[in-house]
Every structure is written in structure tokens, then in C-alpha cells.
Amino acid sequence: MGALLECRNLTKRYGNKRGVEQINLVLGSGRIIGLLGPNGSGKTTLIKLICGLLTPTSGEILINGSKIGPETKAQVAYLPDVTYLDESMKVKQILDYFADFYPDFNMHRAIDMLEALGINPRERLKTMSKGTKEKVQLILVMSRDAKLYVLDEPIGGVDPAARDFILHTILSNYNKEASVIISTHLISDIEQILDDVIVIREGHILEVSGKEAMCNKYGCSINDMFREVFRC
Amino acid sequence: MLGKLLKYDLKSNAVIMCIVFAAVAVATVGEKVALYFAHEYDDNPYIGISSMSMTMIYAMILIAAVFIAVFLVFRRFYNNCFGKEGYLTFTLPAKATHIYWSKYISALIILTAVAAIVIASLFVVAGNDARDILGFFKDIKTVMFDGIDVNPVLLTVLYILSVVVSFLFFISTVYCAICIGQNFKVHTLIASIVAYLIISWSVSILLSMISAVILVVSDRFGDTAFGKYIIISEIVQITVHIIGMIAEHFYCIHKMKKGLNLK
């Protein structure tokens, strides 16, 4: 089977500033991948490139063999690290919106998750707390049967109980034939669910390997390895 | 995909626009009633003052309706494409070209609708006096066309076309200015306003210069060439606006495809 995600000599610069530099990466299906790196390392840039929100300065990205475009966007479910929905809309309207645009959107799954959390689909987003809005966004993304889920800081800025809910939602709802890329600083919270780890520093990929292999190599957990490698 | 995008663009502003249209309808009825009483009881000062107040409110509501429509349309474009909502808009499985055209067509529909409502309201309020308004335009036509050697049908068509193209150009210029503003990391709104002013003034100056050249040239051929000057000036204006519009469309689509700068 071909690679799900392939980056070839991928470079993104913002004027003179570096975003990512000469990234070469091949990811297969059915994996949960942690994208780890300190602030400003290029994690969000890489994610935005994968989702088609940025255009590479050079190099290319292929998803399921296709260049970034409407076809790949239909296969990628993206959760940004900001609240990005039209706050004047009701949850039900947003569900309909997703169902209309994404053929892989599973309405029943979304409604079940909303019910489990006690979120009223007739409620408008602007009346909800920040945490509830983030949960709604996560539900929308995880209700898709996408080929690739890209989650940018899904557990950043939420309390530990909400983190457990988010991780549980991800694990119990993602398409098992798909891959999930999770970008985060909170490594200890997600370490147990990862299959593979990508470590990125100053726009370059420092390491890509299976979690177990990386733990064996450094003789410690991923969290301890991260603290050691990025010690200030 | 364009149809779906357009549906949601129109739906997003539908509620507010319905309220605006309802307000214009209510104001129209109010103004009509006020004018009736002012006409029937023209010796009553209280009714006269009330009628004048109603006319002021009516005028303000019409102006507000236009401003609200313009504000909503351009705010929607900014929020949807370059605000946080851009994270959703540009991860939809849609081409940037479709996203742009859905915004443009929805703006066109909403602004045309509000213009139509305002004009219809004015005619309703004018009632039988609407004939005087039409007569006024006929007088203008007589004054304008009788003194010059020009085909009135052709000139009328050109004027109408010029108004339509200017309207289309206005929308694309605002969109283009918003896109230009995205090239700046801070003060994007100010940059957009400055970009709009620069584009508008540049086009106006260019048109004035071309018109001056045409006038000088036609003047050499005597008074009979004045009609041709007007026709050529209109054609030049329409052409410049169309060329500008095409350039602006290309720039906006390019910006959406390759130059997103989402916060």
C-alpha cells in the first residue's frame, strides 16, 4: 500500500524567516503519530501545509498520492488550535454544514457524542464556554471518516478531565484505517496512545520513529527524552 | 460546490437582511401614512412636524439599510476568508476560485436586493408623484441629448452598463483591498482602507486623464464631435473598469490560493 502522507524536500519560509526546511517524511495508514517540538519549531507550519492553508516555498506534499487540493482536503480532518467556527451559528446548523460539505461526515456519531456531553444542538456557539466550543469542534472533526486526522494542540488549554475526554473521543472515534497526527507540548498526556513520534526542531525533522524504538534508543519515556533534548 | 458555498453565504446574512428589509417596509408604510396626513391636514403644525420627523427617520432607515448591507457583505468576506473562520473555509474540499466567486456572487445578490428594495420604497412613497420623477429623468434626457449629436438609445445603454460595471468594480475593489491588507502582519484593516483608496483614486485619475485626452482630440473636430466624445468616454470607463475588475479577481484568487495569512 502507498504512503498516506509524503513530504518531499518540503520548505516553507516567511520572507527571511524559516518555517520548515527540507522536510522529508513518509507516513502510512493506521497510526497515531505525535508531532512534538518546542514553540516555534515549525509544527503548526507543517500542519498548515498538510491541510492546504499554506503553500510550500519549495518541495511538495502528497496525500494518498495526490497533490494538495480539494481532493486531499476531502480526506483530511483538521482541528486547528483556535476556535474557528461562525459563532452565530447553532450547533445543528454547523452539523448540517459539515454533512453538506464532507461526504464522510457521520451525523449519527456527531449527535451521539453531543448527547453524551449534554450539548444541546439548538444552542448557539456564542453562548457556550470556550471548553464546550472546543469539544464541539473536536466532535465535528472526529465525526468524519477521514483518511488523515490532523489535530493541532487538541489538549492545550483544557483541564485534565477534559484532556481525558478528548483523548477518549479521539481513540474511540477515529477511522481505524486512518492515521492521526497530534501536535502537542503535553507529551505525558498523550504518550500512551502514540504509535510513532516525529520530533521537530527549528524547522527540521530531528527524528521519526516508532514510540517503542525511540524509548529504547534514549532509555527513557518520550516525555523525558523531550525534556532532555530540548533542555533550555 | 459553488452552489453549496453560495447557499451558506446567502443563508449567513439572511436573518439580518430580512430584518433590514422589514424595517424598510415598515418605514415605507410609515412615511406613506405620514405624507397622507400631512397632505390632508396641511394646516396642522403638529402633523407637519410629525411628518417631517417621519421623513427624516425614513431617510435614515434607507441609508442605514444600504450601509448595513455593505458592512455585512464585506465583513463576511473578511471573517470567512481571512479571520479565524478561514481555517474552516480553506479546508473545505472546494477550489479557491469557487470560494471567491461564492463570496462575490452573494455580495452582488445582497447589494442588488437592498438597492432594489430602496428604489422600490422610494417609488411607493412617491406614489403618483413617481410620474414626476420619471418626467424629471425625461427632462434630463431632453437637455442632455438634444444639444448634442448622439444616439440617445446607445448613450442610455452605455450609461446603464457603466453603472452596472462600476457597481461590480466597487465590490471587486473592496475584496481586492481586503486581500492586499493581508500582506501586512499588523494593521491589516488600515492597509486595506489605504489600498482601496489608492486603487479608487488611481482609476479615477487614469479615467480623468484619458477623458481629457479624448476631449482635446475631439475638440479639434468641432462641436459635432462632442457626442462622440461622450460615447467614447463612457466606453473607455467601462473598459477600464472591466480590465481592473479582471485584474482584481485574479489577484484575490491568487491570494486565496497561495498567500493565505491566517492568524
For A47-56, A64-73, B30-39, which range has the lowest pLDDT when averaged over its residues? B30-39
**Structural domain range at position B123:** 2-14+70-258
Residue A232, pLDDT score = 65
Query: Is there a contact between B85 and A86 if contact means CB atoms under 8 Å apart?
Result: yes
Query: Is there a contact between B86 and A86 if contact means CB atoms under 8 Å apart?
Result: no
How far is the C-alpha of A127 from the C-alpha of A145, rounded, in Å?
29
Q: Would you say residue B172 has pLDDT above 70?
A: yes
| Angle formed at CA A205 by CA A199 and CA A206, multiple of 5 degrees | 60
A-interface mutation test, from B2, B77, B78, B88, most A Cβ less than 10 A away:
B88
Q: Would you say residue B219 has pLDDT above 80?
A: no
Query: Is there a contact between A84 and B84 if contact means CB atoms under 8 Å apart?
Result: yes
Count up the domains in chain B and report the number: 1
Domain A5-229, classified CATH 3.40.50.300, yes or no = yes
How far is the C-alpha of B195 from the C-alpha of B193, rounded, in Å?
5
Residue B219 domain-assigned (yes or no) = yes
Of A24, A65, A33, the residue nearest A194 (C-alpha): A33
Distance from CA of A215 to the nearest CA of B (A): 35
Position A222 confidence tier, pLDDT thresholds 50, 70, 90: confident
Q: Which residues of B touch A102 (CB under 8 A)?
A: 93
Distance from CA of B104 to the nearest CA of A (A): 19
Transcribe B55-101 into DSSP letters: HHHHHHHHHHHHHHHHHHHHHHHHHHHHSTTHHHHTTSSS-HHHHHH
Q: Which residues of A touch B4 (CB under 8 A)?
A: 100-101
Kindly state the average pLDDT of the residues B15-22: 91
Phi, psi angle pair for A178, to nearest 5°: -95, 170
- Nearest residue on chain B to A97, judged by CA atoms? B8
Distance from CA of B192 to the nearest CA of A (A): 21
Could you say which of B4, B85, B260 has the minimum Cβ distance to residue A84? B85
The B-side interface with A (CB below 8 A) comprises: 1, 4, 8, 12, 79-80, 84-88, 90-95, 257-260, 262-263
End-to-end CA distance of chain A: 41
Give residue-wise pLDDT tens across range A74-123.
Answer: 999 999 988 888 888 899 999 999 999 999 999 998 998 888 888 889 99
A-interface mutation test, from B84, B89, B91, B258, most A Cβ less than 10 A away:
B91
A52 touches B at CB < 8 Å: yes
Is A40 or B139 the better-scoring residue by pLDDT?
A40
Residue B198, pLDDT score = 96
Longest dimension (CA), chain B: 68
Alpha carbon B215 to its chain's center: 28
Q: Which residues of A touch B92 (CB under 8 A)?
A: 73, 101
Position B146 confidence tier, pLDDT thresholds 50, 70, 90: low
Beta-carbon-side half-sphere exposure of residue A165 (alpha carbons within 13 Å): 17
Residue B225, pLDDT score = 66
Kindly state the average pLDDT of the residues B145-165: 81
Residue B151 CB contacts under 8 Å (≥ 6 apart), including other chains:
none
Query: Is there a contact between A82 and B85 if contact means CB atoms under 8 Å apart?
Result: no
Residue B161 domain-assigned (yes or no) = yes
Query: Is there a contact between A83 and B84 if contact means CB atoms under 8 Å apart?
Result: yes
Query: Is there a contact between B1 and A71 if contact means CB atoms under 8 Å apart?
Result: no
The mean of the pLDDT values for chain A is 87
Beta-carbon-side half-sphere exposure of residue A232 (alpha carbons within 13 Å): 3
Name the one residue in this structure whose C-alpha cell is 510550500.
Answer: A56
Position B222 confidence tier, pLDDT thresholds 50, 70, 90: low
B-interface mutation test, from A53, A68, A76, most B Cβ less than 10 A away:
A53
Grid cell digits, residue B79: 471573517
Query: Is there a contact between A84 and B257 if contact means CB atoms under 8 Å apart?
Result: no
- Which segments of chain B does DSSP mark as H helices, in order? 2-40, 45-82, 86-89, 96-126, 130-146, 152-181, 188-219, 226-258
Residue B2 CB contacts under 8 Å (≥ 6 apart), including other chains:
B98, B101, B102
Of B253, B64, B70, the residue nearest B174 (C-alpha): B70
Position B48 confidence tier, pLDDT thresholds 50, 70, 90: confident
Position A193 confidence tier, pLDDT thresholds 50, 70, 90: confident
Residue A3, pLDDT score = 86
In chain A, domain spans: 5-229
Residue B39, pLDDT score = 80
How far is the C-alpha of B254 from the C-alpha of A45, rounded, in Å?
20
Query: Is there a contact between B1 and A86 if contact means CB atoms under 8 Å apart?
Result: no
Of A86, A6, A97, A70, the residue nearest B91 (C-alpha): A70
Kindly state the average pLDDT of the residues B83-106: 93
Query: Is there a contact between A74 and B93 if contact means CB atoms under 8 Å apart?
Result: yes
